[in-house]
Each structure stands twice: as C-alpha cells, then as structure tokens.
Amino acid sequence: MRLAMRVIIAGCGRLGSQLAMNLSYEGYNVVVIDRDPNSFQRLEMPFNGLTLAGVAFDEELLREAGIEEADAFLALTNYDNTNLMAAEIASDLFGVPRVIARVYNPDKELTYRSMGIDYLSGSAILAHAFHRQVTSRGVTLHHEAGNCRVVELEVSREAGGFRIRELRLHGALRIMSLFREERPVYFSRDTRVEAGDHLLLAVDTGDAGELLQSRLGRVVVESLAAGPGYREENREWRIVVAGCGRVGTQLSEMLSLDGYQVAVIDRDPSAYQRLSKSYQGEFHHGMAFDLDVLERAGIEEADAFAALTNYDNTNLMASEVARGIYGVEKVISRLFNPDKGQTYQALEINYICGTALLAEKLVQRIVPRRLRILSWVANNRVLLVEFNCPRRFRGKRVSHLEGEEIMRVGLLARDGEVTVATPETVLEEGDLLVAAILAPRLSKVRRMGEG
C-alpha cells in the first residue's frame, strides 16, 4: 500500500524544480521529466525523487515514470502545445485523477477549457498580484471569508498614537502582526502603534457598529468601503510599468481600464503590439533604468512603479532608481530566482516571486487538507496561512496554540461560520484557522499541523 501521493512533473524549469523540491520535502513521491538532462541541476536538497530525460508526451517514458499509478500530473514545460498534449495524454489515456497544465498565452485558455484541461495561467495570477500591490491606498486586502477579512493597513497620522490595549474590539478586530519600516516587530498590549506602522488585521466587517467605536476601526471601515475597480480619483494616479511581456501587458491593461494614468517601458519597440485596443496609456521604448526614458514616462510624477522585465538584475536596478533617485513611494519588483530574495530584502525592495507564488498555487490544487499559504506580507517576511486545527490543540485555547510567539491566529471557520479569533477561543476538531507566521517558521508550523 502506497502511503504518499505520486506526482509527475513535466518540465524542470524554475517553477517545475521549485515545486518538485517542495513536494519532495513534504514526503511525496515525485518524478520529474525534462527533455534537457542538464535542467535537473536545478534540483537541490531536499529533492530525493526520480528524474527522467525525454519529452513529456512520450507514452513509454510516462509509463517508466509510473503514470499508471500517479495521483497527479503537472505539465509545466515552456511550451503551451507540449503542455496541452502531455496533459491530454495523462488525463484521457492514463486516467490520472488530477491533471493541471500551465498556459503561457492567454489566447489559448479557451482551447484548454474546450478540451476539459485544468490549467494555471501564471501571467494572470501575477498580474492580479501586482495590481493589488500597486493600487493599494492605505489598506490591502489579503484574504476574505464570509463577513471577515484580513487586511494590511498603513496607520495614518490621525489613527496613530494609541496602545493596543486601548482597542477593546473583542471579536470585531484583532491585530495579527505589526510591521515597522517593513520589518515585523514583537508587540504586546502595551505596544504603542505610531503613524506609518503597518498592521495586519483580522476584521469582522459584519460588526461595523463595534468597529466604528475606535479611530482604527473607522479607518478600516472607510478604506474597505471605497472598493476596488474604476474610481474617479484613479485619474490622478500615475503608474509606470517596466516590461511589456505577458504580465506587464495584462497589468497595464487592467490599470488602464480602472482609469489610471499608465506608462509602459520596454526595450523592444515592437512590444507595444502586445497591448490590446482597450489600453489607453503610453508606451516608451528604452531600458527600464535609463533616466531619460523614465522621465519621458513621467517617473517624476509617478505614484507607483512596477518592474516586470524578464531579468532580475534589470528589475532590481530599475526599482532602485525609481525609489532612490525619483522617490517613488510605491515600488514593487518581479523576482524570478527565489535565491535572490534575501538580496531584495536587504535592499528594502518590495518584490513578488512568481516562482514561489505559482508553486504554492499548484500544490494547493493537488494536495488536500494541507497548510496553505494565502499571502506573502511585509516583503515576504510574514506569511498568512490557513490550516486545520492540529489534533493536540483541540479543546485548548487559541492562546495556547500561539505560545512561543510562533503565530497569531486571526480567523476561525467552524460549521460554515467565520469569526475573528480571540485568545480565549476554545479550539475544536474541524476548525480551520487563518494565522500570521514569520516566514522562517513555516516548516515548524507545518510539522505542528501533522501532530
């Protein structure tokens, strides 16, 4: 009897290798296929699975990989047609229960749907993630369940200057994490919250009457009431996007439809052709860190800058220029290589790592009842996670689970109802928890969930 799922991954690029290492670390039987045997050099410890060189739709190779006993098959090569063909063979010929293919070209999504192939559009997921970051104004929505939300709030001058014990919003609002200069800090009931601090909050928006009794609660209610999408004041915001690839194109079109002033920069003058007729912004040809190009794009008046080229070093340099020379308040960069995350953090460059984000999205879709990462917060230093109540904590209070400063629970789902957790809440079997944890403690929390 097999004790672990067997997962076959076709494609050992950045995403495939990251996913293979993640699943192998968690004890799954993983087989990786790639036509280039040199690609397997990306696989590092803790990967202990099998690697096979060959094309992803070779039936003989797939049988060697154990596809007839596979629980999941993921087609993650760099080619849409290869992914589509491999996924169809895995699903129709071998009857693999869970098959997902990556799609690069959004125009091919209809083909995938018509053939009944489940797919993941990385560019769409990343475009929405960047959209949320560059358009947030004081408050960012990280998770929503029922009437409850987890939001990140920048404390204004009017709302700051209070001690946490003064909130007294029992069951309507709970502070999950406090960031000062983008770094998580320890806090207690006596901690004074100042203007400029960022708070990760669990909020019950259905209890507006309770929220409105405090300055902080009023700020949350007013910010959430503004809502996303097109607003007249968007016209006053200028956003510069460096990189007109798939993600940059989708992001720019979304921003343009929302009414923002958008300027796109790309070194390839023909990249403008990727933008649809719905795009009403500007296009500037040149390097993303060239001062003349940036000034033509209006960087001096920009409210936000997104570095989305295909090169980590270019994104890093462009972000440094936008922030350091032109003082753009909101700067966010795309990161391809997860190993460079610490460099970005050391330089205080906010980033979204597409490899980590997409790998997590895929794992969530193939592995049931597993701790899920819902969002990356404080420049990836804090994780918002969702997990089932560990067996050994059932019948105990939330404060017991939070011991040793491992986590702070914000939301609790029980019998279809979601509420804001309190330290006195008694945990029960079947409870689903949403908590904030420090990124380095992810492995410890995962092990806790296994007990």
CATH code reported for the domain at 232-356: 3.40.50.720
Q: What is the side-by-side order of every strand in the sheet holding 382-388? A: 372-377, 382-388, 432-438, 407-414, 417-420
Residue type, 449: G
Query: 329: part of which helix (H) or strand (E)?
Result: none
Query: 360: part of which helix (H) or strand (E)?
Result: helix 354-366
- Residues 280-331 have pLDDT tens digits of 999 999 999 999 999 999 999 999 999 999 999 999 999 999 999 999 999 9
CB contact at 8 A, 370 and 363? yes
- Residues 75-109 have pLDDT tens digits of 999 999 999 999 999 999 999 999 999 999 888 88
Task: Map out the domains of the chain as residue ranges.
Answer: 6-116, 147-226, 232-356, 381-450
Cβ-proximal residues to 245 (8 Å cutoff; 6+ apart), any chain: 123, 271, 274, 308, 309, 310
Mean pLDDT for the stretch of residues 242-271: 96
Buried b (16+ CB within 10 A) or exposed e, 8-27: bbbbbbbbbbbbbbbbbebe
Q: Where are the beta strands (DSSP E) in 146-207?
A: 148-154, 162-163, 173-180, 183-184, 192-193, 198-204
Question: Nearest Cα to 243, choosing from 208, 278, 277, 272?
Answer: 272
Residue type, 374: L
Q: Could you give the CA distance from residue 441 to residue 422 in angstroms, rounded to a whole number?
A: 22
According to DSSP, the residues that pair with 119 across neighbouring strands are 101
- Residues 30-47 have pLDDT tens digits of 999 999 999 999 998 779
Question: Nearest Cα to 18, choosing from 378, 361, 383?
Answer: 361
Structure tokens at 440: 């380095």
On the question of a common fold for 147-226 and 232-356, the answer reads no
Name which of 183-192, 202-211, 272-281, 325-334 the model is least confident about. 202-211
Cβ-proximal residues to 6 (8 Å cutoff; 6+ apart), any chain: 28, 29, 30, 31, 66, 69, 70, 71, 72
Checking if the pLDDT of 241 tops 80, the result is yes
Checking if the pLDDT of 171 tops 60, the result is yes
Measured in whole angstroms, how far is the alpha carbon of residue 279 from the centre of its chain? 25
Residue whose structure tokens are 């990989």: 65
* pLDDT band, very low/low/confident/very high, at 119 (cuts 50, 70, 90): very high
Mean pLDDT for the stretch of residues 388-414: 89
Which pLDDT value is given to residue 137? 75
Cβ-proximal residues to 222 (8 Å cutoff; 6+ apart), any chain: none
Mean pLDDT for the stretch of residues 196-210: 84
CB atoms within 10 A of CB 45: 8
Residue whose structure tokens are 């560019």: 123
Q: Which of 3.30.70.1450, 3.20.20.80, 2.40.50.140, 3.40.50.460 would CATH assign to domain 147-226? A: 3.30.70.1450
Q: Could you give the CA distance from residue 142 to residue 212 in angstroms, rounded to a whole number?
A: 21
Residue type, 213: Q
Cβ-proximal residues to 107 (8 Å cutoff; 6+ apart), any chain: none
Q: Where are the beta strands (DSSP E) in 221-378?
A: 238-242, 261-266, 282-285, 304-307, 330-335, 350-353, 372-377
Q: Is residue 419 classed as helix, strand or coil in its secondary structure? A: strand
Residue type, 416: G
Taking the model in full, what pTM does it have?
0.87
Question: Nearest Cα to 450, choosing from 367, 374, 397, 388?
Answer: 388
Residue whose structure tokens are 């912004």: 281
CATH class for the domain made up of 381-450:
alpha beta
Total residues found in the chain within this entry = 451
Which pLDDT value is given to residue 406? 74
CATH fold label, 6-116: Rossmann fold (3.40.50)
CB atoms within 10 A of CB 384: 24
